[in-house]
């Protein structure tokens, strides 16, 4: 997912959380806790693969 998609996803998740809150419900979303940032061929996939043991 690219930056543009992520920028569009964040407000959507916020609206979803607001809607659940307005209904008095909790919205438990399991969102990623780790973000790996870097240029192309910088080894991002290798870093994540080491975390998950692949």
DSSP count for the chain of H helices, then E strands: 2, 0
pLDDT digits (tens, 9 = 90+) for 12-23: 888 988 998 899
Q: Specify the pLDDT at position 22.
A: 92
Structural domain span for residue 31:
3-52
In total, how many domains does the chain have?
1
Residue 10's closest CA among 50, 49, 42, 1?
1
Percent of the residues in the chain that have a pLDDT greater than 70, as a whole number? 93
Evaluate if pTM is beyond 0.85: no
CA distance 42 to 54: 18
Contact between residue 36 and residue 44 where contact means Cβ atoms under 8 Å apart: yes
């Amino acid at each position: 997912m690219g930056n543009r998609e992520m920028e569009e996803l964040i407000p959507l998740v916020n609206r979803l959380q607001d809607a659940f809150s307005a209904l008095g419900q909790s919205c438990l979303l399991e969102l990623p806790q780790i973000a790996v940032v870097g240029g192309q061929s910088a080894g991002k996939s290798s870093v994540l693969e080491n975390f998950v043991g692949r």
